[in-house]
Structure 1
């Protein structure tokens, strides 16, 4: 391994570890609203503070990413007015190890730009917008598609998908050692059936970071478009930090690699079908400080889950806020899928106003391997005005532990825990509902130090009675 590669991987590892350890604040503080936008020259960190950052020049960025060769594409002949396509300029500029720089402007592409012959590629923009041809359904930038390259970087690019019948994949990054994507935005509702951003770190020792990816406009509800996905060839560790992904019918973030770990740190995910955040990994998976909100019953896609733990044996969800206010349909705010072999959800606030929707749902085990857990729910608050159904529903599992649970749901005929063929414990908790606190079928639940009360209507949907600040149904989660 050469020194440049060692240095690059070390920088990515430190960055990933830093955001993973920092967390994203208490669940009682859902973060900034639309009026809390940092001023120019400042960047919001995962703790909610702001830090001043110097604008990176191409030279500074090349040094940071380890590139010796920098090409200013306007100097190389690219038209920054959007009138003349710049495909040829891109193709001519790509070398074995090149940082391509787009100054402020609008740039038109007519086809795909590949970097399969490069070993390392970087694309950096400064207030740069890339416009595909109308009706596009192809990949715009494919870095390492046919064969993985060593490293791929992209920062500061906006893709304009606002034209009718325009979509496709703006960016695919497939690299052995490192993938780094930061401050990339896609504008316009995707109205062709093609997932947007894909990331694959193909080396088992490689690292990936996707930070401040903004996909605010989603896709048409009758498509099967995913916002961002980890690809089938991933083997490394990938982190998603402070991303915004809204309105996709087939998952907002689909973090489903066959190998490697996934960390989802901070960020806002709104009105996505199937799940706002889906994780399924054999190795370590963490979802921390994420805010998921479903508030559009006419939204994108069906089954608007908040966070879906699809599979794995070491999955941790903590310090998250999930709001299920209005939905097309939903399996629950945070769901343990049938294939999940073990997981922990702790220190989370779940608000459910949508009737008959569970705050937590632990589904029937798919097989003996996924039946015994452990499945731990610790320091969870479930509030909101939902009527019917239960705040928690669990089926056909053993090794369940519910600790420090506070349920206050004053909606009509709302129950606390529904348990069918379950073995576990429910301790040091409070349940205040209008229906039954516990509805047990062939289940053994060891209950210790549990307070049960009749649910009464509160103006805040019950949050204050659990000692938690109300999230507020009118709060904006735009970032």
Structure 2
């Protein structure tokens, strides 16, 4: 993920007693939940057991009929359309508060068509259960809620019995640095929130100290938050503590579990996550944190009878552009919680000072914490990599196992936490000292991808052509010696050697595993999936980050495939289209495709785009002049910008400024250009060719069609491939021209009907009599059409 959206794959293993991902919703409306727990699958729609409802007396919605519906595991008595049923204004001009309040009733799901919706008042959910909001757009930004200018509006306020769902919408806090929107979505019975985003500039805390209040009040309930985004378009106003707005927060009333997964939180002006005080637990999976003030990951282990807080597969970046106290703060609000678990965490810290990249402050009062398979790069010369102060709990050891630590920063201090240990890890930090940590099998320097100092396995897909895949292993050296063995398993076939070529029997997605061994006998392995097809796609598209968060969307005319290993799980690829993110210059999303790029849009940010290695401006159109078997000379000019597609233009073609002339001949011969603006002029100086814009055939030239009488009354009907228009002074009232067809009459040789048309003359039929037909002055053999 990351500021560059690297592939951080969360670990699926569950430690006994650490994460149970269960919930229960009761059948009653307001009593405490008592139902049994049911397992939740990762990234599922949860299939939560919703209230089975007693039909409520509906006053505000009594005139709207709707069948009972179960959505996101919640049973709703009715589904209403915000515009058609409730009369809300989707233009952002008139406030929707009255209509929203009328529908804020138990058992209601409101669906919002794409648009902007203005709110002026807070909306309380304290007495409402089984309530939801869902955007109907193709993207979460298609439905946006805006606060009145200068106001801080609670979209949901007060918390309530739940369950609740919010999905596929955005909350736009404007760019005025004072307007704000927040959701107090605390609940007894849990929530399911998916694909939401905060846009605009989050202000200072002048009304509410959080963007999202996420407490789960019942010990057995679970709140699920997936695909939550903030700061991808604009950073929050910088703040001095405590004037900022914490983003994702739970308080002393949190007793259940809240799960945040597959999300990105950037540049908030207070803690990105803060869940420290209550006995409930926090589960973070595959979440990206970039330059958030105060703290990025901040939670305590909680005091749940069967679960403990954990973070898995997360990425944290702090570069000093904002005041961040730490990347991870393990904090129990002095409640003595112990046992938080962190797995597969990647941290990039380049800030010069701070409490510690990983901090367990004494005033937080947190006991033990465990870190497994983590990678930390600390270039903050004044910043401790791990700073664990003394606390009162006896269970207070800090365990760092199979981790990699690099950079110019300072080292590790566990105060008097007995049993603290760094184990099976690599430390390549010349300025780092180790205080009060025991060490077991820790190498000094030479950190590679495998943190025990052994070899690092990686797979590169170098080529794919017609069911054949070419693979190569990393040409790397570990801390002790060279890799001496490469052992491959490609769909059940075994190979040895750095490079592998394998041909598959049929198209599909296959597993490839590489095991490498160094000269000391240490090994490492990695597995990837490779998609192959019977006919390899001819063109290569690369979207390369430029250092800012960029979301793109594009379509091709024929077929599209992602290049294995370059696409992350938050990217969405279909047979002909894709949406995704890139950020850092080292991060590229890559595809192969056939046909043309028919549309390309940056939904936010910008990136460099390459087709077959040549950089292009994706906002330009692709113009193709395709030969049809005869020698054809063309000339054209565009209104704004023109550049040739490399490899398609020959030395006899001439491209200058916004105009070009050239030749095409055979059907497989095309001259291609990137163009911006309109085709101002186009002429075939010799012959004819087919012209395509973004894969769609166009007809940039006009031809003249003449139908001349031969002495007998003749009725004709003609059809063209483009559009046809009559030359007005040659037609009579009984002649008819429409779109791509024309019908009319001619008689003697002095009687002529004339037309201009684009495309080909595809059909000529004489319904009565016979006439002569000419295109651009040349006679046409009608029987040959």
Q: Could you say which TM-score interval applies, normalised by the shorter chain?
A: 0.7 to 0.9
1:72: which partner in 2?
Answer: 81
1:264 aligns with: 284
Alignment of 1:32-431 (within 5 A): 62=71, 64-75=73-84, 76-126=86-136, 127-142=142-157, 144-145=158-159, 148-193=160-205, 194=208, 195-216=210-231, 217-222=234-239, 223-280=243-300, 281-283=302-304, 284-295=308-319, 297-299=320-322, 301-303=323-325, 305-311=326-332, 312-326=337-351, 329-338=353-362, 339-363=365-389, 365-367=390-392, 369-370=393-394, 372-384=395-407, 386=408, 389-390=410-411, 392-410=412-430, 414-417=431-434, 419=435, 422=436, 425-431=438-444
**1:98 Cα deviation after fit:** 0.8
Residue 115 of structure 1, CA deviation: 2.5
> Is the contact made by 1:408 and 1:465 (CA closer than 8 Å) also made in structure 2?
no
TM-score, length-normalised on structure 2? 0.46
Give the TM-score normalised by structure 1. 0.74
Deviation at 1:99, TM superposition (A): 0.8
Cα distance change of structure 1 residues 357 and 15 upon mapping to structure 2, 3 Å threshold: same
RMSD (CA atoms):
3.3
What is the CA distance between 1:464 and its match in structure 2? 6.8
Describe the SS at the equivalent of 1:276. strand
The separation in 1 between residues aligned to 2:34 and 2:391, in whole angstroms, is 44
TM-superposed deviation, 1:17: 9.2
The alpha-carbon distance between structure 1 residues 88 and 465, as it changes in their structure 2 partners (threshold 3 A), is farther
Q: Secondary structure at the match of 2:171?
A: strand
> Matches of 2:198 and 2:68 in 1, distance apart?
26
Q: Greater shift after overlay, 219-228 or 349-358? A: 219-228
Q: Would you say 1:2 and 2:14 are equivalent positions?
A: no
Distance 1:251 1:170 in 2: 15
Q: CA deviation at 1:232?
A: 2.7
Q: The residue matched to 2:201 in structure 1 has which SS?
A: coil
Among 445, 453, 456, the residue aligned to 1:432: 445
Q: Distance in 2 between matches of 1:82 and 1:8?
A: 42
CA distance in 2, matches of 1:231, 1:179: 16
Alpha-carbon distance, 1:82 to partner: 1.1
Q: CA deviation at 1:430?
A: 0.8
Shift of 1:96: 1.7
Contact 2:331 2:360 in 1 (8 A): yes
What CA distance in whole angstroms lies between the structure 1 residues aligned with 2:34 and 2:433?
A: 52
Which structure dedicates a bigger proportion of its chain to helix?
A: 1
Structure 1 pair 157–465 and aligned structure 2 pair: CA distance change class (3 A) = farther
Which whole-Å CA distance do the structure 2 matches of 1:306 and 1:402 have between them? 19
Flag the structure with more relative contact order, 1 or 2, with Cα contacts below 8 A and sequence separation at least 6.
1
Aligned-residue offset at 1:59: 8.8
Q: Number of matched residues? A: 392
CA offsets 1:130-151 (integer angstroms, 9 cap, x no match): 1111111242222x43xx2231
Cα displacement string for residues 255-277 of structure 1 (whole angstroms, at most 9, x for unaligned residues): 22412221111110011122111
- Partners of 1:19 and 1:396 lie apart in 2 by 45
| CA–CA separation in structure 2 for the residues paired with 1:18 and 1:73 | 27
Q: In the superposition, relative to structure 1, how do residues 63 and 173 fare at CA in structure 2: closer, same or farther (>3 Å)?
A: closer
Shift of 1:373: 2.6
Alpha carbons 1:322, 1:351 under 8 Å: kept? yes
Q: Secondary structure at the match of 1:155?
A: strand
Shift of 1:63: 6.7
| Contact 1:302 1:330 (8 Å CA) reproduced | yes
Q: C-alpha distance in 2, partners of 1:428/1:221?
A: 43
- Alpha-carbon contact 2:33-2:218 (below 8 Å) kept: no
Aligned partner of residue 89 in structure 1, secondary structure: helix
CA contact (8 A) 1:407 1:430 kept: yes
Deviation at 1:282, TM superposition (A): 2.6
Contact 2:172 2:181 in 1 (8 A): no
Checking the alignment, whether the CA contact within 8 Å between 2:397 and 2:418 is kept in structure 1 is yes
User: Aligned equivalents of 1:314 and 1:307: distance in 2?
Assistant: 15
Q: Indicate how the Cα distance of structure 1 residues 464 and 188 shifts in structure 2: closer, same or farther if over 3 A, else same.
A: farther
Query: In 2, are the aligned partners of 1:209 and 1:240 still within 8 Å (CA)?
Result: yes
- Aligned to 2:228, the other structure's residue is in SS state strand
Contact 1:16 1:239 in 2 (8 A): no
Is the radius of gyration larger for structure 1 or structure 2? 2
